[in-house]
Amino acid sequence: MSNPLALIIEDDPDAAAIFSEALKAAEFETEIIVTGDKALERLTVTTPAIVVLDMHLPHVAGPDILRYIRADARLAETQVIIATADSSMVDTLYEEADLVLLKPISFSQLRDLSRRLRQQGLL
Amino acid sequence: MMRIVNQLLDVPSIDPEDARRRKLLNILLIGIGTITLLILLATSVANIIGLVNQDEAALLVYGCLVTLIGISIIYVINRYWSGWLASLLFLLLLTVIVAFSDEPQQVVNGRALFLFAIPVLTASVLLRPWVSFIMTGLIDLMISVIALRIQFVPPVPTMLGFFAVALVAWLAARSLEQALEDLRTINRELDQRVEERTQELAEALGKNQAVLESITDGVVVFDNDGLAIVANPAVATLLGRPADEILGSDIKMLMSKDVSLSDQGTVTDLLRDKGKRCPSVKIEWGDKILSVSVAPVRDDSGRVIGTVVVFRDFTREAEVERMKRAFVSTVSHELRTPLNAILGYADMLREAVYGPLSDLQLDTIERIIVNSKRQLNIVNDLLDQAQIEAGRMTLSVTSFSAADLVDDVQGVMGVLAQKIGLELTSHVADDVPATLSGDRQRLHQILINLVGNAIKFTDKGSVHVRVYRPNADHWALAVSDTGCGVPPEAQSYVFDPFRQVDSSVTREYTGSGLGLSIVKQLTTLMDGEVTLTSEVGQGSTFTIVLPLIPT
């Protein structure tokens, strides 16, 4: 059985690379998407176990993607980890997201968190 | 008609008393001239219908003609030359007329004698009051001469009686002159006062007007009915309409085209309470950003007689402010992103993602991480400072546990303290509520700053964090150390931005020099107070006292 899919929606290539390595270390298949519209396109055909979602994206904003995921029954099991640099967004997104992480998010932080999610049997 | 009469009576003279006398003489001349003309007419008619004999009629006609010629000459002299000479000649003419108006015996002792009162009275009015006495003397002399010539006894009682008439004339003329003089003085003083006040007013108005016209702020004064009564040139430029169009308009009419409805409401509210609650607002007015300030206008007795509204163009400032904000936000993003990437990759290497590392490699990576973190902290401090200075730092208040907060800080800083052989201890007093209300993240930042500082300036001993309640309404965070302490003269400026106690220690104790300044400003933002007690060589205690907000 192949590893579950983690979709990394992040326009900063460095952050995306680090997230990707962290999730690989936690034994996920990873895929990086750099724009909001591509992300929405991809989400219509895949069912990722985890979505790491940046809030400031080109074309379609992070909150809109979050709303899309939450409205789609097929994606009900998908865990959404929000990555934002804006501390004031933490409170507003807390309800809808499974996890809200304040940037900068380190490799070990994301690796440990996602590993814990797998071990808890959620994914 | 009146104009022609006035012109006839008028005399050119700058002395009002002289003018009055000469005008009076003109009236007399015209009056007597008219009477003479009537006599001439009556004589002619009487002669035609045969009521008088030829000789008498001829005499009367000659007399009248001579009188008319005399009057005309005197009129011309009075009008164009000398009033005084004209008056003298007139009196002479009058006396001669009286002297020849009747038979000599009637003149000195009969029906025509009373006529001499006329020149006596006239003299005091036309020349000087006292001239009536001289006139009386002359007339008495003339009566005596005439009387003696016709061998009559001069009428001494009547002649003395003329002196009484002269006395009355003198009194009357003098009183009149005095009254007129007083009146003129009063008038002169009044004129002077009016002139002074006019001058003052003109100066005051001129000054105000000059100020109003030269300032670049737009000024409009609204009366109590809300209509504009003053508008300076600057306001016309600012609002893009001529000043005379602004005058008479109310504020709603001025705003109707260029201001959004909600801003219109703000400005009308501002005007309604005349800036009592807040004196000014900034709004978009057409393509400009204007600050609108309002104040009541009061008269001397303190009564509100209107509202002055001052418009100032803030378009440029707003643009600069916007650019500054954009710059800070861009810089903050551009500075942090690569640092975060460096930290991320270094972390990945340290976690052996790309294979196991030697001790030397691990140590190097650790140095990369420490230095990057240090730089990230300085960048964050600078950005916090910029945000605080711009007044854009906001707090996000949540509930949190003081024990958790202190544990967190101890977790982060404990390792650092241990590394240099310091003990980091903490204690939360029992009377501190289990949950507190406040901006946990910023309080964390304050504590990290204070503990970091304490560790930095302490060589040996301990750093102690204490949470307690100094009184019922407050809670406090205190960070004490056993370090080098802060000298008294430096205690006043340790909270200033970019200041460190001794510039020579800056290199040894690295940092942005902003830590304590940010601590102070964040504390102020939280309505709290930060204090420092310190003794050189003994250590320092920084205490933050914050209001206890019910959760």
Give me the CATH number covering residue A108.
3.40.50.2300
**Structural domain boundaries, residue A113:** 5-119
Is the pLDDT at B506 greater than 60, yes or no? no
How confident is the model over B333-347, as a mean pLDDT? 88
Q: Test A88 with B441 for CB contact under 8 angstroms.
A: no
Angle of helix B156-214 versus helix B16-48 axis, rounded to 10 = 130
Please count the CA atoms within 13 angstroms of the CA of B424 that sit on its side-chain side. 25
Residue A123 has pLDDT above 60, yes or no: no
What residue segments make up the domains of chain B, in order of their start? 2-187, 216-313, 319-389, 398-547
**Is the confidence at residue B194, as pLDDT, over 70?**
yes
Give the mean pLDDT of chain B.
86
Question: Strand pairing of A99-102 and A79-84?
Answer: parallel
- Mind listing the pLDDT tens digit for each residue in A84-117? 877 666 666 767 788 888 888 889 999 999 988 8
Q: How many CB atoms lie within 10 A of CB B263?
A: 18
Contact between chains at B345 and A18 (C-beta distance less than 8 A): yes
Residue A10: the pLDDT is 93
CATH 3.40.50.300 fits B398-547, yes or no: no
Distance from CA of B463 to the nearest CA of A (A): 28
Instruction: Using pLDDT thresholds of 50, 70 and 90, give the confidence band for residue B326.
Output: confident
Mutate to test the interface with B, among A12, A20, A106 (most CBs of B within 10 A): A106
Examine the pLDDT at B225 and tell me if it is beyond 50.
yes
Residue A121's pLDDT is what? 63
Average pLDDT over residues B138-144: 89
- Position A50 pLDDT exceeds 70: yes
| A25 in reach of chain B (CB within 8 A) | yes
- Residue A61: CB atoms within 10 A of its CB come to 14
In eight-state DSSP terms, residue A75 is: G
Distance from CA of B345 to the nearest CA of A (A): 7
CB distance B155 to B113 below 8 Å = yes
Nearest to B353 among A21, A103, A104 (CB): A21
Chain B residues within an 8 Å CB radius of A115:
none
pLDDT at residue B502 is higher than 70:
no
Residue A78 CB partners (closer than 8 Å, separation 6+): A47, A48, A49, A50, A51, A69
Reported as a single tens digit per residue, the pLDDT across B233-292 is: 898 888 888 888 888 888 888 888 888 888 888 888 888 887 777 778 888 888 888 989
Residue A63: is the preceding peptide bond cis (ω within 30°)? no
Over residues B17-42, the mean pLDDT reads 88
As a whole-number percent, the residues of chain B with pLDDT over 90 amount to: 22
pLDDT of residue B360: 94
Chain A interface, mutation test: which of B336, B348, B443, most A Cβ atoms within 10 Å? B348
Do residues B328 and B387 touch, judged by C-beta distance below 8 A?
Answer: yes
- Is the separation of the CB atoms in B178 and B138 below 8 Å? no
Report residue B528's pLDDT band, with 50, 70 and 90 as the boundaries: very high
Number of domains in chain A: 1
Amino acid A88: pLDDT? 66
Within a 10 A sphere around the Cβ of A40, how many other Cβ atoms?
17
**Distance separating alpha carbons of residues A6 and A19, to the nearest angstrom:** 10
Residue of chain B nearest A14, judged by CA positions: B341
Residue B379 makes CB contacts below 8 A (sequence gap 6+) with B332, B335, B336, B339
CB B158 within 8 A of CB B107: no
Within 8 A of B343 by CB-CB distance, chain A residues are 104, 106
Given a cut of 50, is residue B16 above it in pLDDT? yes
Contacts of B355 in chain A (CB under 8 A): none
Q: Are A90 and A102 in contact (CB under 8 A)?
A: yes
Whether A92 has its CB under 8 Å from any CB of chain B: the answer is no
C-alpha distances out from residue B148 to B144, B358, B538, Å: 6, 165, 139
The secondary structure of B74-143 as a DSSP string is HHHHHHHT-HHHHHHHHHHHHHHHHHTSS-HHHHHHSTTGGGGHHHHHHHHHHS-TTHHHHHHHHHHHHH
- A58 vs B: CB within 8 A: no
**For residue B347, what is the nearest residue in chain A, using CA coordinates?**
A107
CA distance B11 to A23: 118
Are A87 and B336 inside 8 Å of each other by CB? Answer: no
CB contact under 8 A, B396 and A88: yes
Residue B50 has a pLDDT of 77
SS (H, E, C) B29-68: HHHHHHHHHHHHHHHHHHHHCCCCCHHHHHHHHHHHHHHH
Cα–Cα separations (whole angstroms), residue B497 to A82, B277, B411, B512, B519: 35, 33, 28, 9, 10
Out of A13-27, B216-230, B376-390, least confident range:
B376-390
- Is the pLDDT score of B507 beyond 50? no
The pLDDT tens digits for B40-81 are 888 888 888 877 777 778 888 888 888 899 999 999 998 888
Q: Which residues of chain B are within 8 Å of residue A15 when distances are taken between CB atoms?
A: 337, 340-341, 344
How sure is the predictor about B508, in pLDDT bands with cuts at 50, 70 and 90?
A: very low
Q: What percent of chain A has pLDDT over 70?
A: 91
Percent of chain B predicted with pLDDT > 70: 97
Q: Would you say residue B530 has pLDDT above 60?
A: yes
What is the number of H-type helices and E-type strands within chain B? 19, 12
Q: Report the gap between the CA of A84 and the closest CA in chain B (Å).
A: 12
In the predicted model, is pLDDT for residue A73 greater than 80?
A: yes
Which top CATH class is B216-313? alpha beta
Enter the tokens of residue B383: 């950005």
Helix (H, G, I), strand (E, B) or coil at B471: strand
Which of A12, A91, A108 is facing B347, going by the closest CB pair?
A108
Predicted pLDDT at B15: 78
Q: Measured between alpha carbons, how far is B400 from B422 in angstroms, rounded to an integer? A: 28
State yes or no: pLDDT of A17 exceeds 90: yes
Residue B499 clears pLDDT 80, i.e. is over it: no
pLDDT band at residue B158 using 50, 70 and 90 as cut-offs? confident
Contacting residues of B for A104, CB less than 8 Å apart: 336, 339-340, 343-344, 376
B357, burial (CB in 10 Å: exposed 0-12, middle 13-18, buried 19+):
middle
CA of A67 vs chain B CAs: smallest distance (Å): 24
Residue-wise pLDDT for B404-447, tens only, equals 999 988 888 888 888 889 999 999 999 999 899 998 888 998 99
- Cα dihedral B115, B120, B122, B127, rounded to 10, equals 160
Nearest to A108 among B336, B341, B351 (CB): B351
Distance, CA of B509 to CA of B520 (rounded, Å): 20
Q: How far apart are CA B254 and CA B249, in angstroms?
A: 7
Helices B54-80 + B16-48 axis angle, to 10: 160
Grouping H, G, I as helix, E, B as strand and the rest as coil, residue B274 is coil
Enumerate the residues of chain A whose CB falls inside 8 A of the CB of residue B442.
none
pTM of this structure = 0.51
Asked if pLDDT for residue A24 goes beyond 60, the answer is yes
